[in-house]
Amino acid sequence: MSAEPINLDSWRDLTAAQQPEWPDRDELKRVVGKLAAAPPLVFAGECDQLKSELAAVVRGEAFVLQGGDCAETFSGADADAVRNKIKTLLQMAIVLTYAGSVPVVKIGRMAGQFAKPRSSSTETRDGVALPAYRGDMVNGFEFTPEARRPDPERLLRAYHSAAVTLNLARAFTKGGYADLRQVHTWNRDFVAESPAGRRYEQLAREIDQALAFMHACGANPSEFHSVEFYSSHEALILDYDRALTRIDSRTGLPYDVSAHMVWIGERTRQLDGAHVDFFSKIRNPIGVKLGPTTSADDALALVRKLNPDNEPGRLTFITRMGASKIRDVLPDLVEKVTAGGAQVAWICDPMHGNTFEAPSGHKTRRLDDVLDEVAGFFEVHRALGTHPGGIHIEFTGDDVTECVGGGQPIGEGDLSLRYETACDPRLNRSQSLDLAFRVSELYRST
């Protein structure tokens, strides 16, 4: 039990970047009261379990696969879309586990990723300025004054959509669908059309043989029947995550029970800001995004504030430098943080430093840049003798055309065919598998 009561509201006296201007504060108060009385979406013990798996990543014994939409939408909380995302994540995890020979910690950017930081608080189209879209948790995507008005009721809808998504994710990962004997089933609708699908099929055949061999030897371990899957999101809208913070009855300590893991984005990681203060109070495993301008002193100060006891698994640094910068800026950061004795997991977000606008006006990313940033991440960590601990990606299980390149190539002219993201461009299923195969090669080539 902690000796002194922890003040979970001290962030309210600090500057909180990227918060919506709610037009109706009374309505906000009413909604937050409802959320504060709502059942938890995850349990503190599950958060601790993830923390211990992330501690294995810190020790160099496991690899994180974290991914999902840039921005989830309420309409996306549907069985087909969630199944396709889980299926793709499972396929990627299998590739990494089998071809990379490493245990994979599976974390969805799912069941809560409903809020987005924006570079400008307004969006202007044809001379009309409206509040920027900040994610379904805050306002609507449609460019009308009604849709763009921040509506607190959306915080409740976010909670319910997260509950539905998490329920589906738990069912898909625990109810037999994720059984290793299903490795072919996940690929069935995919195999013929794509090189990555065919390569996966070959690997699935090898896994079948290995399973048959183990079965013949009398082994049928329960670990093969289901997988552990965790949820995560950027805890951006502090009223939401604060309202879903509960005191764990076992330990007397606070946990944000809206997700297993939460992270602080690149735009809200100010040391004296509200987000860092709030995160310092909760006991979940947490992440912080670090962009190319992060100094080693910044990172070390974050370590002291967010993980003063240096608990392995508590803090993950998610670096997002850009393919052209990672080899220059990452070494100093990793070297100094490591020399400072900090126990952190390092994972690579190869998406957010590699976004550009195509001539058609679509925000996009090149798969080649994504792969190059991941290669740079491995090179830097290998050279320093530190552990390249995982990847954090934006992907979807559907065959969208949002990023260019890949084994089933998408050109800049194809982007408009199926460009569906509510925010940043995501890898489609084939591109995600291409990435998983590349990462498994990098992992093995030490």
Residue numbers at the binding site for ligand PEP (CB under 6 A): 70, 117, 234, 265-267, 289, 320, 352, 424
277 binds, among Co ion, ligand PEP, none (CB under 5 to 8 A by kind): none
281 binds, among ligand PEP, Co ion, none (CB under 5 to 8 A by kind): none
Of the candidates 434, 423, 315, 415, the residue with the CA atom closest to the CA atom of residue 374: 434
**Does the annotation place 246 within a ligand binding site?**
no
Give the residue with the Cβ less far from Co ion, 257 or 351: 351
**Does the annotation place 69 within a ligand binding site?**
no
Of the candidates 290, 243, 283, 242, the residue with the CA atom closest to the CA atom of residue 261: 283
320 binds, among ligand PEP, Co ion, none (CB under 5 to 8 A by kind): ligand PEP
**Cα separation, 205 vs 397, whole angstroms:** 22
356 strand-pairing partners = 364
CB of 70 to ligand PEP, least distance (A): 5
**Does the annotation place 70 within a ligand binding site?**
yes
Does residue 70 belong to the site contacting Co ion (CB under 5 A)? yes
CB of 215 to Co ion, least distance (A): 42
Give the residue with the Cβ less far from ligand PEP, 187 or 258: 258
- Exposure b/e, 280-315, CB count within 10 A at least 16 = b: bbbbbbbbbbbbbebebebbbebbeebbeeeebbbb
**Does the annotation place 352 within a ligand binding site?**
yes
Pair type for strands 345-348 and 315-319: parallel
Give the residue with the Cβ less far from Co ion, 136 or 424: 424
Task: Find the helix or strand (DSSP H, E) in which 288 lies.
Answer: strand 286-290
**Does the annotation place 170 within a ligand binding site?**
no
Q: Which residue's Cβ has the minimum distance to ligand PEP?
A: 265
**Does the annotation place 142 within a ligand binding site?**
no
| Per-residue tokens: 238 | 């502090």
CB of 355 to Co ion, least distance (A): 8
| DSSP 8-state class, residue 39 | P
Could you give the string, one character per residue 418-437, with x where binding to Co ion holds by CB under 5 A and - elsewhere?
A: ------x-------------
**Cα separation, 243 vs 239, whole angstroms:** 6
Spatial contact of 99 and 141, defined as CB atoms under 8 Å apart: no
434 binds, among Co ion, ligand PEP, none (CB under 5 to 8 A by kind): none
232 strand-pairing partners = 261
**Does the annotation place 362 within a ligand binding site?**
no
CA 369 to chain centre: 19
The residue range among 9-17, 63-71, 303-311, 430-438 that interacts with Co ion, by the rule CB under 5 A, is 63-71
Pair type for strands 261-264 and 390-394: unpaired
| Per-residue tokens: 310 | 């240096």
34 binds, among Co ion, ligand PEP, none (CB under 5 to 8 A by kind): none
* Total residues in contact with Co ion, by rule CB under 5 A: 2
**Cα separation, 95 vs 186, whole angstroms:** 13
68 binds, among ligand PEP, Co ion, none (CB under 5 to 8 A by kind): none
Residue in the block written with tokens 């090149």: 366
CB of 108 to Co ion, least distance (A): 15
289 binds, among Co ion, ligand PEP, none (CB under 5 to 8 A by kind): ligand PEP
CB of 152 to ligand PEP, least distance (A): 22
| DSSP 8-state class, residue 437 | H
Q: Helices marked H in 6-152 — which ranges?
A: 25-36, 44-58, 79-99, 145-148
Spatial contact of 318 and 289, defined as CB atoms under 8 Å apart: yes
CB of 423 to ligand PEP, least distance (A): 7
Could you give the string, one character per residue 314-333, with x where binding to Co ion holds by CB under 5 A and - elsewhere?
A: --------------------
Give the residue with the Cβ less far from ligand PEP, 199 or 352: 352
CB of 334 to ligand PEP, least distance (A): 17
Give the residue with the Cβ less far from ligand PEP, 97 or 354: 354
**Cα separation, 390 vs 109, whole angstroms:** 14
- Exposure b/e, 145-165, CB count within 10 A at least 16 = b: eeebbbbbebbbbbbebbbeb
Q: Please enumerate, by residue number, every residue annotated as part of a binding site.
A: 70, 109, 266-267, 289, 320, 352, 394, 424
Q: Please enumerate, by residue number, every residue annotated as part of a binding site for Mn(2+).
A: 70, 352, 394, 424
Q: Please enumerate, by residue number, every residue annotated as part of a binding site for phosphoenolpyruvate.
A: 109, 266-267, 289, 320
Which residues here bind Co ion, judged by CB under 5 A?
A: 70, 424
